[in-house]
Amino acid sequence: MISAMVGDLTKVEGVEYICNAANGIGPMGGGVAAAIRRAGGRVIEEEAIRVCQAQDPQPGDLYVTGAGSLPFRGVIHLVTMKQPAGATSYEIVRSCLERLVAHCREHGIKKVALPALGTGVGRLDKARVARLFREVLAPVEDVEFVVVDIDESFIRMVDSY
């Protein structure tokens, strides 16, 4: 199940986890990551760095941290690039989405919010990413995915495919 809404990912209500468009080394310096760090505290970034040092996640992987002062069970960091502001691809975004579905099922997560992966510093085409979101997430019946972004055009694209 997939729905989409314009808004602030850190203020979504009724979800268990939010997702971060992450790098594989942990710093949360820009875009969605910075918004999550500002809203939930540096403790999220500090934990992300520790987890990355221990696990060395690669693009397409995910890792989980606490949510700091945010009202969620945690933050699922979807690794869209290894280095901050590095390269990404549609294949990496697809892998992140597929791993997110598997992680939610494995851990009994029923509702999660996520941003427009790869469309900021990753510079991927928003229409292609919106189609990927629908293709991978819409057929899932046991988890609800709420796509949240400040870009109204991306939200309309997710809703229209």
Q: pTM for the full model?
A: 0.95
Quick one: pLDDT at residue 17? 98
Candidates 3.90.1150.10, 3.40.220.10, 3.40.50.720, 2.60.40.2130; correct CATH number of 1-158? Answer: 3.40.220.10
CA 75 to mean position of chain CA atoms:
8
Q: Name the token pair of 116.
A: 């427009």
User: Which residues of the chain fall short of a pLDDT of 50?
Assistant: none
CA distances (Å), origin 38, targets 1, 41, 82, 86, 146: 29, 6, 22, 22, 21
Quick one: pLDDT at residue 131? 94
* Domain spans in the chain, listed from the N-terminal domain onward: 1-158
Return the percent helix, strand and coil in the chain, to nearest 5: 40, 20, 40
Quick one: pLDDT at residue 7? 94
Sign of the torsion formed by the C-alpha atoms of 137, 105, 147 and 51: negative
CB 142 within 8 A of CB 105: yes
Beta strand 62-65 pairing with 111-114:
unpaired
Quick one: pLDDT at residue 67? 98
